[in-house]
């Protein structure tokens, strides 16, 4: 009996191996002679995300960030192909060619978004990110009015108020403020701006929000916990979320955030006195009033996406921005002098002046180039087609792209591609002040019809924060005895060290803010 069982198992395994070999051979043939490499696990799989880099097994979650443009330079073309065996034999085409990427992002019908990969972000309901086709059009139509110029002015004004509150009521008369990790400043700033611009809820630095009745966690803590630990919820099934103290807290945060959002929606809808508000929630409620199919779950789903995107992305980008300015004081001085030339009398910057702060925008863009929040933007081919890619020598290659091919727009590889960016490893904000800077090779917000709807929100908040802080304070790296003998390159590597998350996350950025 045992012998028969072993024979059966061996037969099944043999059939599986033969099937995989046939599928693999077909994939290799479809790629012809183009550069390729093979791993067992796809980065789309859970194992591919959990495992470190193991040659032939997995690439590791940080591979895209660490390798940048190197694999493409080695391959000799601005596209590589990864054949994977698990969960099924498939090929992923990774692009760092600006023209090919523009074609992919502009052709939604040929290269749609693989919404299944984004369903993990539908914790609180369907939303604009995790949808495609008619659903996406409906969400886009309803959400668009929430990102009006009127709302952008609200974002600017609230950001200026929040930074002034920091200056007056937290930093006060101190000449030097030491911050062990810049995220301790940037995360609250991003959260306070979101509270005001998204929900009309003003939070000050001195507020001790506390836990409201019928809750176990404050709104502020719930947002922070959810945005920092989304991957826990993605990876662990519901039954496993109660196994450790940490996973139980994450589970509680998701439950609490859901409850808080539903309460806010209910209060706003049922308020006796209807106030004219310009925040994101009011705009969504107004825009959805004429669409009875837009449910509370649609509201919470979309609000959650804007919360996570607006909180973590802004905070991490600002953290890296402060780090770069501290590491490159000459660039910080150029920025300060430009701000001073506009605000010569020391007054506060206004939203109407935002277009004048070109150096602030250049610094922000250069940080986004070097530290794009999303390392890879997934697409797939809906039909048998082809893409033309190039290389540093100016050669062109037509790549066959069979139906079902996974495509990744490698944001990091594109942003460090020397075909478009001279000396891409250098922090050089002035490249964004040139009239002919390569716009098609800059996609921190994606591109085409599916580009980030909240881009102006993000830019408005970021420019206001950066302009306000640099106008009053000089930023330096915190000096620590244990690092006294390190070289500049060692210091740079230490301060800019990052780990994967929903967005690339700085590990520790110790700074000192000195009053000018």
What mean pLDDT comes out for the span 225-251? 82
The token duo for 37 is 């490499």
Percent of the chain with pLDDT over 90: 44
Q: Do the domain assignments include residue 403? A: yes
- In Å, how far from its chain's centre is CA 177? 28
Q: How many domains does the chain have?
A: 1
- Look at residue 173 and tell me whether its pLDDT is greater than 60: yes
339 exposed, middle or buried (CB, 10 Å; 0-12, 13-18, 19+)? buried
Q: In which residue are the tokens 């794009």 written?
A: 372
Predicted local distance difference test score (pLDDT) of residue 308: 74
**CATH code of the domain in which 232 resides:** 1.10.630.10
- Token code pair at residue 162: 């929040």
Detail the residues annotated as belonging to a binding site for heme.
452
Residue 150 and residue 279: Cα distance in Å, rounded? Answer: 9
| 17 domain residue, yes or no | no
The larger pLDDT score, comparing residue 51 to residue 507, is at: 507
Helix (H, G, I), strand (E, B) or coil at 274: coil
pLDDT, greater one: 22 or 284? 284
- Which tokens is 400 given? 């066959």
| Average pLDDT of the residues in 393-414 | 92
User: What per-residue string of b and e applies to 343-367 under the rule 16 or more CB within 10 Å gives b?
Assistant: beeeeebebeebebbebbbbbbbbb
Helix axes 219-228, 245-270, angle to 10 degrees: 130
Q: What is the pLDDT of residue 434?
A: 95
Tokens 């929430």 correspond to what residue? Answer: 146
User: What per-residue confidence (pLDDT) applies to 368?
Assistant: 96
pLDDT at 266: 83
Whether residue 20 is predicted with pLDDT greater than 60 in this model: the reply is no
Q: Model confidence at 16, in pLDDT bands (50, 70, 90)?
A: low
User: 72 lies in a domain?
Assistant: no
Minimum mean pLDDT among 38-52, 174-188, 461-475: which range?
38-52
Query: Does residue 71 form part of some domain?
Result: no
User: Any idea what DSSP says for residue 271?
Assistant: -
- Write out pLDDT tens, residues 104-114: 999 988 999 88
**What pLDDT shows up at residue 95?**
96
User: Would you say residue 25 lies in a domain?
Assistant: no
Give the long-range contacts of residues 186-190, CB within 8 A, separation 24 or more. 186/314, 186/315, 186/316, 186/318, 186/319, 186/322, 187/224, 187/311, 187/315, 189/159, 189/162, 189/163, 189/314, 189/315, 189/318, 189/465, 190/310, 190/311, 190/312, 190/314, 190/315, 190/318, 190/461
- The alpha carbon torsion through 313, 227, 296, 108 (nearest 10 deg) reads 50
Q: Angle at the Cα of 328 (from 326 to 329), degrees rounded to 5? A: 75
For residues 399-423, average pLDDT: 94
| pLDDT class of 124 with cuts at 50, 70, 90 | confident
In a domain, 277, yes or no: yes
What integer is the mean pLDDT of 53-73? 84
Name the residue among 419, 367, 415, 361 with its Cα closest to residue 391: 419
**In which residue are the tokens 């150029």 written?**
334
Name the percent of the chain lying above pLDDT 70.
89
Please report, in range form, the residues annotated as the binding site: 452
Three-class HEC string of 377-402: EEEECCCCEEEEEECCCCCEEEEEEC
| Residue 369 confidence (pLDDT) | 97
Residue 74 lies in a domain: no
CB 429 within 8 A of CB 338: no
Q: What does the DSSP assignment read for 187-250? A: HHHHHHHHHHHHHS----TT----PPTT-SS-HHHHHHHHHHSHHHHHHS-GGGGGSSHHHHHH
Q: Tell me which residue range forms the domain holding 411.
A: 96-515
**pLDDT, tens digit, 9 for 90 and up, residues 282-319:** 777 877 777 777 787 888 888 888 877 777 889 999 99
Please say whether the beta carbons of 313 and 373 come within 8 A: yes
Joined together, the tokens standing for residue 119 give: 């369903």
The secondary structure of the chain in percent helix, strand, coil, rounded to multiples of 5, reads: 55, 10, 35
β-bridge mates for residue 376, sequence order: 410
Residue 68 lies in a domain: no
What rounded mean pLDDT belongs to the chain?
Answer: 85
Confidence tier at 233 by pLDDT (50, 70, 90): confident
Give the separation between CA 466 and CA 163, rounded to whole angstroms: 10
Collect all residues with Cβ–Cβ distance below 8 Å to 331 and sequence separation of at least 6: 324, 325, 363, 427, 429
Q: State the pTM of this model.
A: 0.88
Range of weakest confidence among 315-329, 458-472, 501-515? 501-515
């Amino acid at each position: 009996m045992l012998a028969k069982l072993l024979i059966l198992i061996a037969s099944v395994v043999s059939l599986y191996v033969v099937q995989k070999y046939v599928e693999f051979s077909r994939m290799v043939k479809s790629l012809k002679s183009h550069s390729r490499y093979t791993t067992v696990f796809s980065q789309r799989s859970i194992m591919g995300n959990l495992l470190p880099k193991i040659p032939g097994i997995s690439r590791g979650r940080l591979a895209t960030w660490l390798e940048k443009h190197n694999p493409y330079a080695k391959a000799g073309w601005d596209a590589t192909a990864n054949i994977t065996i698990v969960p099924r034999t498939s090929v992923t085409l990774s692009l760092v060619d600006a023209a090919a990427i523009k074609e992919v992002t502009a052709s939604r019908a040929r290269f749609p978004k693989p919404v299944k990969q984004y369903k993990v972000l539908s914790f609180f309901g369907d939303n604009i990110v995790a949808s495609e086709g008619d659903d996406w059009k409906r969400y886009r139509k309803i959400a668009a009015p929430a990102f009006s110029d009127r709302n952008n002015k609200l974002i600017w004004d609230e950001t200026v108020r929040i930074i002034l509150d920091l200056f007056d009521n937290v930093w006060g008369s101190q000449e030097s403020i030491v911050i062990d990790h810049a995220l301790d400043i940037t995360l609250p700033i991003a959260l306070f701006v979101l509270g005001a611009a998204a929900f009309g809820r003003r939070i000050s630095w001195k507020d001790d929000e506390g836990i409201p009745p019928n809750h176990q966690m404050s709104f502020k803590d719930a947002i922070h916990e959810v945005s920092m630990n989304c991957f826990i919820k993605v990876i662990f099934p519901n039954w496993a979320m109660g196994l450790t103290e940490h996973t139980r807290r994450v589970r509680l945060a998701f439950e609490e955030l859901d409850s808080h959002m539903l309460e806010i929606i209910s209060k706003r809808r049922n308020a006796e006195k209807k106030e004219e508000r310009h925040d994101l929630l009011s705009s969504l409620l107004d825009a959805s009033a004429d669409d009875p199919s837009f449910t509370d779950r649609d509201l919470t789903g979309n609000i959650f996406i804007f919360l996570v995107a607006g909180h973590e992305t802004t905070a991490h980008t600002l953290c890296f921005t402060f780090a770069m300015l501290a590491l490159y004081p000459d660039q910080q001085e150029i920025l300060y002098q430009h701000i001073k030339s506009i605000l010569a009398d020391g007054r506060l910057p206004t939203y109407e002046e935002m277009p004048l702060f070109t150096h602030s925008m250049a610094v922000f863009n250069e940080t986004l180039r070097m530290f794009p929040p999303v390392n890879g933007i997934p697409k797939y081919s809906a039909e048998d087609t082809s893409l033309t890619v190039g290389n540093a020598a100016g050669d062109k290659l037509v790549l066959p792209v069979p139906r079902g091919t996974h495509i990744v727009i490698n944001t990091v590889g594109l942003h460090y591609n020397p075909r478009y960016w001279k000396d891409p490893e250098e922090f050089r904000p002035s490249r964004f002040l040139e009239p002919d800077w390569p716009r098609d090779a800059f996609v921190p917000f994606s591109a085409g019809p599916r580009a980030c709807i909240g881009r102006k929100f993000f830019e408005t908040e970021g420019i206001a924060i950066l302009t306000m802080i640099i106008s009053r304070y000089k930023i330096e790296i915190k000096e620590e005895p244990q690092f006294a003998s390190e070289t500049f390159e060692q210091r740079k590597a230490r301060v800019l060290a990052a780990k994967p998350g929903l967005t690339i996350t700085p590990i520790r950025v110790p700074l000192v803010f000195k009053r000018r």
